[in-house]
Amino acid sequence: MINVLTMMRLLKPTFTFVLNYQRFIHLMFVPFVASFVFLLMESFYPLFFLAPTAEVKLSVNVYMFVLLGVIILYLSLSLMLYIQQTVFFGSPTDQKKFFLPPLNQAFFAYLAELLYLFVSALLFATASAYILISLLDYILPMSDKKNLFLLLGVVILLPYFMIRFSFLLPAKAAGKKQRLWDSWKMTRRISPAIALMIALFLFLPLGIAAGIYSIFQAVVYNEEIVYFITNLCALFSVQCSCILYGTYMAYLYSAVVSQE
């Protein structure tokens, strides 16, 4: 049975896999260039700008915002799928010098699985929050605040259900069919530990990015350069978080399946 100690031990192969110098360059070169090019575009078409109105109003460039979302989603999913397949099946024989995110059937199947996971988690979170809020409203009437509490309940419960269904993605990368109930059973006792690992993989790269930002802020006095470097580090840290999470979940999925 998988326990917290076993999950902690899986951090070693995760970081060993990701921090291999040649593999890291192979994986991150194209995402880094894509982030660099996007930020060059953002210099000419800012993501946020002051609208030319009588009142000072901060507006969002919708087109650049959508483009940023597409780039992050495409690169993150491609990296996670490729990494998990590498953990399960080994490096491909025709591996190129740099990882090129594909647009093939496997990618779209992985994307569809993510959408299925998210929608399912959202439905379960909404249903659970609605039942809970209805019971509380029966005991302590909430009047006009019921919808607000319902929204807060969904926001709180959504990450929980996404973690409980999280094994759908590595299963898809492994070429196996998995139901929501299967993932629910597999994460029965380890979901809090998974949440802690996600927090680690999120905040560790962000912490390093914040450190780089502090260094540049201290030695570079051009605000535009500091702004560019800060955003570049932030985007790069997101991709690093994805490869850490994807690698760890592949090892964890393999460990759980081997003990069933």
Question: 250, 251, 258, 254: which is closest to 84 by C-alpha?
Answer: 250
d(Cα 6, Cα 8) in Å, to the nearest integer? 5
C-alpha triplet 231, 68, 123: angle, nearest 5°:
115
Rounded to a whole number, what is the distance in angstroms from the first to the last CA of the chain?
Answer: 8
pTM of the entire predicted model: 0.89
CB atoms within 10 A of CB 156: 12
Can you tell me whether residue 166 is helix, strand or coil? coil
Give the count of domains, the chain: 1
Residues 143-200 have pLDDT tens digits of 677 778 888 989 999 999 999 999 999 999 999 988 999 999 999 889 999 999 999 9
Q: Residue 236 is part of which domain span?
A: 4-258
Query: In which band, very low, low, confident or very high, does the pLDDT at 126 lie, cut at 50, 70 and 90?
Result: very high
- pLDDT tens profile 224-258: 887 888 888 888 899 999 999 999 999 999 999 98
> pLDDT digit string (tens) for 3-52?
888 889 999 999 999 989 889 999 999 999 999 999 898 888 887 766 66
Span 100-123, average pLDDT: 93
The reported pLDDT for the residue numbered 249 is 96
